[in-house]
Amino acid sequence: MRFLFKTDYEDDIKLFPHSGYVVSYGLLIALLLIAPYVLSSYLMSQLVFVCIYATVGVALLILTGFTGQASLGHAAFLAIGAYTAAYLQKYNVPFPVYFLAAGLLTGIVGAMVGFPALRLQGIYLVIATISFAFIVEEILARWESVTNGNEGMRIKTLSLLGVAVPRDSPTFYFLCLAVLVLTIVGTLNLLRSPTGRAFVAIRDSETAARSMGVNVALYKVKSFAISAAITGFAGVLFAHKLSFISPEMFTLQLSIEFIIVILIGGTFSLHGAVLGAIFIVMIDPFLTYLKDDMPGIIAGVAATFGAGTEAAGNIQSKVAAFASLNGLKGAIYGIIIVLFVLFEPLGLYGRWLKIKLFFQLFPLYKRATFKRQKIYVKSERNR
């Protein structure tokens, strides 16, 4: 185990507490930089989606993880970013301009959603954000002169400073990676400055935050705006990656996927957003694999245990029918959320910390280390 001797206040502020961090993150960045020249094009495409989902995850973490305001409307923010890009592209606006414009517009919309949210708490806020998402979805479907309605919009190939950047090129991947890294660095900067601490204060006790001079309303709106703006940036990349967008892509299910990203990754640290993004992007091919191969495997196992050819075929068709049921994916997502909330509330990153601590303290690790102390004295909250 390493003991840090702090000799300067700088030691409490800097992003990398010791040289080990520099080495491991340096290694990670190096691996990510050589990835496009090593990995298959399918995995590269998945990696781009991981970057985009992780960016949205970081945005959602700012709002939900650190400010304590739940949102099931982030698919709508993503949609606004994507459609702004698609619309401005029609008028030959260059990429940097519509990229920034999408973030700005989404940020403004986010602040507008934040205002009514000031009076809502918990589950009511969730319902308000869901309704906002439905409103946006409906507008996208009906406002045909701008959004082309349900027919959707085609996105032209990204052109950066006159150079075409196809959606499966390494350059596009680097662009997504850069956006993710800048988002993470910006968020970390925010979290170690007064604004980030005010967010955390609002999450844990609005009354105390107020009595310490935090303008709770202003900071909630700020949190909504920042979160939405980042999601808007991600939306532009999302649109380019898919090259075609339509309203039914930005449904409640996508918002739930974003919630899964942070719930499964861990809501207390930015690592969670990245781990959760990897999880959610990789679960889709895994489910497809299960759907394609599971019936055959189960039938094979049944045959080995003495089932006749006909019985095995019967089992195979039944499993196949089950695997292709409508809404099975949603059900699996639901089960995953429930299991994580019950058994791993700190998420994948929490699990990683536990494993790390286990080896650091071996053989002295106690399971109770991560147990939260129960709070017996709780004041009636003055909302």
Partner 1 sequence: MSYFRAENLSLHFGGLKAVDAVSFAVEKGEILSIIGPNGAGKSSIFNLISRIYRPTSGRIFFEDQDITEQPPYDIAKLGIARTFQNIELFENATVLSNLLVGRHRHSTTQLWQELLFLPNVRANEKLHRRRVEQVIEFLDLEPYRDKLISGLPYGVRKVIELARALCSEPKLILLDEPSSGLNVEETDDMSFWIRDMRSELGITVLMVEHDMTLVNRVSDRVIALNYGRVLAMGSPAEVQQHPDVVAAYLGA
Q: Residues interacting with partner 1, by CB under 8 A?
A: 9-10, 12-13, 186, 189-190, 192-198, 200-201, 203-205, 207-216, 222, 226, 268, 372-373, 375, 377-379, 382
Q: Is 157 helix (H, G, I), strand (E, B) or coil?
A: coil
Judged by beta carbon, residue 87 or residue 268, the one nearer partner 1 is 268
Q: To the nearest whole angstrom, how small is the minimum distance from the Cβ of residue 381 to partner 1? A: 9
Judged by beta carbon, residue 131 or residue 207, the one nearer partner 1 is 207
In whole angstroms, give the CA distance from residue 379 to residue 208.
11
Judged by beta carbon, residue 11 or residue 284, the one nearer partner 1 is 11
Q: To the nearest whole angstrom, how small is the minimum distance from the Cβ of residue 64 to partner 1? A: 13
Judged by beta carbon, residue 216 or residue 357, the one nearer partner 1 is 216
Tokens of 350: 């929490």
- Contacts of 121 by beta carbon, 8 Å cutoff, 6+ apart: 383
Q: To the nearest whole angstrom, how small is the minimum distance from the Cβ of residue 279 to partner 1? A: 23
Burial of 34 (0-12, 13-18, 19+ CB in 10 A): exposed
In whole angstroms, give the CA distance from residue 215 to residue 113.
18
Judged by beta carbon, residue 136 or residue 214, the one nearer partner 1 is 214
Tokens of 169: 């090129």
Q: Taking the chain, what is the end-to-end CA distance rounded to the nearest angstrom?
A: 43
- Contacts of 82 by beta carbon, 8 Å cutoff, 6+ apart: 102, 235, 236, 238, 239, 245, 250
Q: To the nearest whole angstrom, how small is the minimum distance from the Cβ of residue 209 to partner 1? A: 7
In whole angstroms, give the CA distance from residue 115 to residue 102.
20
Nearest to 63 by CA among 127, 104, 111: 111
- State how far the alpha carbon of 24 is from the alpha carbons of 28, 32, 182, 343, in Å: 6, 12, 18, 29
Judged by beta carbon, residue 230 or residue 319, the one nearer partner 1 is 230
Report residue 40: phi and psi, to 5°: -70, 160
Q: To the nearest whole angstrom, how small is the minimum distance from the Cβ of residue 104 to partner 1? A: 13
Tokens of 140: 């996208």
CA atoms within 13 A on the CB side of 109: 25
Q: To the nearest whole angstrom, how small is the minimum distance from the Cβ of residue 319 to partner 1? A: 44
Question: Cis bond leading into 247, ω under 30°?
Answer: no
Greatest Cα pair distance, the chain, in angstroms, is 75
Q: Are 67 and 223 in contact (CB under 8 A)?
A: yes
Tokens 């701008």 map to which residue? 146
Judged by beta carbon, residue 183 or residue 246, the one nearer partner 1 is 183
Work out the number of other CB atoms within 10 angstroms of the CB of residue 319. 18
Judged by beta carbon, residue 12 or residue 310, the one nearer partner 1 is 12
Tokens of 215: 């303008």
Judged by beta carbon, residue 10 or residue 310, the one nearer partner 1 is 10
Judged by beta carbon, residue 121 or residue 314, the one nearer partner 1 is 121
Tokens of 87: 């619309």
